[in-house]
């Protein structure tokens, strides 16, 4: 058995999932539209050093705070089941099937939040999801983060924690952005997929191969 660790947004899916999740919630609950608070959150992000975790928490609180587990769970089920074939990268689905056939343990490692990432992981047959945690107060969503934002150096720390739990097991990891280079460089079999020009240059400087998973070729072509 080996570990296969996949990033979510831009790696398994073609696009970000966090904002579509919130926008879908707002369409379902129009009273939750609090545009001024969202803009204030964005302004704090742009002027306050770019704290992405704070931005996520602020946006969640602005439209979902106080809602029940049942309400959030119902929306999560609809959101995840509503993701269609066009939302996923063909190369990612092929790689997931290949690792499953080999008997590997699949881990979805994402900076997106645990309101829905574990449900996507379950849908795709992953054994584990490691993602950014969101706080509840009893049955009501509170919205602050219970973990560090799972991005950049924090993803590398998560890889190290996985390695400690599975000593001697080789790790394959897949990511799509420059911020993923840190954890890709820490595994035996890294691959940058769907990367922009800057991310590809950074990967090549680090000796990480690159591939394209968004086209129709099942596994992409390593370049």
pTM (2 d.p.): 0.91
pLDDT tens track for 90-136: 999 999 999 999 999 999 999 999 999 999 999 999 999 999 999 99
Q: What is the pLDDT of residue 171?
A: 98
Whole-angstrom Cα distance, residue 100 to residue 61?
Answer: 37
pLDDT tens track for 143-161: 999 999 999 999 999 999 9
Output b/e per residue, 138-175; b: 16+ Cβ within 10 A: eeebbbbbebbbbbbebbbebbeebbeeeeeeebbbbb
Which domains does the chain carry? Answer: 3-211 (3.40.50.1000)
More confident residue, 54 or 183: 183
Tell me which H or E stretch contains 105. Answer: strand 105-113
């Amino acid at each position: 058995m080996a570990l296969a660790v996949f990033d979510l947004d831009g790696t398994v899916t073609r696009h970000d999932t966090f904002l579509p999740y919130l926008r879908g919630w707002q369409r379902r609950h129009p009273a939750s539209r609090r545009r001024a608070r969202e803009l204030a959150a964005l302004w704090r992000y742009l002027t306050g050093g770019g704290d992405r975790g704070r931005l996520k928490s602020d946006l969640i609180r602005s439209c979902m705070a106080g809602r029940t587990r049942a309400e959030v769970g119902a929306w999560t089920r609809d959101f995840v089941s509503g993701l269609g074939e066009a939302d996923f990268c063909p190369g990612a689905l092929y790689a997931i099937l290949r690792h499953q056939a080999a008997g590997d343990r699949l881990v979805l490692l994402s900076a997106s939040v645990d309101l829905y990432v574990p449900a996507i992981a379950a849908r795709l047959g992953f054994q584990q999801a490691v993602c950014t945690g969101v706080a509840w107060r009893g049955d009501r969503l509170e919205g602050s983060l219970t973990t560090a934002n799972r991005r950049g150096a924090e993803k590398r720390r998560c890889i190290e924690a996985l390695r400690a739990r599975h000593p001697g097991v080789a790790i394959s990891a897949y990511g799509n952005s420059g911020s993923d280079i840190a954890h890709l460089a820490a595994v035996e079999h890294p691959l940058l997929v769907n990367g922009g020009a800057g991310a590809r240059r950074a990967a090549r400087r680090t000796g990480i191969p690159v591939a394209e998973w968004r086209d129709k070729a099942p596994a992409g072509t390593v370049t």
